[in-house]
Structure 1
Amino acid sequence: MKLSEGVEWGLHCVTVLAGLPPRATLPTKALAEYHGLSETYLAKHLQALTNAGIIESLPGPKGGYRLRRAPEEITMLEVVEAIDGREPLFRCAEIRQRSPLTQESAQYRVPCGIHIAMARAEKAWRDALRTQTIADIVSHYQQSTGEQRLQESAEWIAGRMRQI
């Protein structure tokens, strides 16, 4: 399984936005610069997050992005699905029906063991991401990052955020 790099970008941007004070936004340019990303490509992912109701875009000179909901209400799975979609990761093509020893179609009504195992694994993966919130990620970052780095980050962001 391989998620797009946009998932990582989206998760990092959402965690940065989670730290903004009320009535503050960050423009695309600042988010791209903070993470060393292409502004144009990042904008597409931010639009997907906006369409999913995770963040909101405010237009104008004081505009930018901010969370639409509290970080405790946004799950990692929501961000993953906003960027990469909700399609199953494994797509069973039923190749067992192509065998020279093909059976009657009634024999294929039950999914094969591979399909069942992959669906079970994907459900576990999605369930795990559904329990992790953006607030959990922010908390981990704050606990695992030195005070100086936290301060530098906060100052950098404060210098680029806009008040509405």
Structure 2
Amino acid sequence: MNTVYVALGANLASPKAQLDQACQALKALASDGQLSVSPYYQSAPMGDVPQPDYLNAVARFTTTIAPLALLDALQAIENEQGRVREVRWGARTLDLDLLLYGDWQLDIPRLQVPHYGMKTRSFVLLPLLDLAPDLILPCGTKLTSLITEELKRQVQQLGPDH
């Protein structure tokens, strides 16, 4: 059994509804059917592709699903919710990224865990902090050491009603 953290993002086709629906789908991947989800955050898109702002969150659950099988399951959820991969960092109905898989460190062609960009992305770090303020990454870095005032200014936490 491993505790996993998954980043969620959406900026098309009712982003809040997309995240809500994805959370329901993620529950089915949890060994005990339990899922913890951070508050939703609004953030500007990455890259230079003109598009709407994103809604982002992080979910935590435990699973016995192997990392690559979990990646396949996450991509299936994205596809079921209309994800189309045409432009790198382009607009999307749903993006699910496997951030952490227990204390595992993987670097294989289809999957890098911990996620390669998680240490610098405010829309990942702040929701992750909401779920696991005492988290220490597999490399030994304390999550709190990555949080800066600049990161906090880059996203806006939405209220409990999202």
When normalised by structure 1's length, the TM-score is 0.29
Greater per-residue helix proportion: 1
Task: Pick the structure with more strand per residue.
Answer: 2
Higher relative CO (Cα under 8 Å, sequence separation at least 6) belongs to 1
**What TM-score does the superposition give when structure 2 sets the normalisation length?**
0.29
Q: Which has the larger radius of gyration?
A: 1
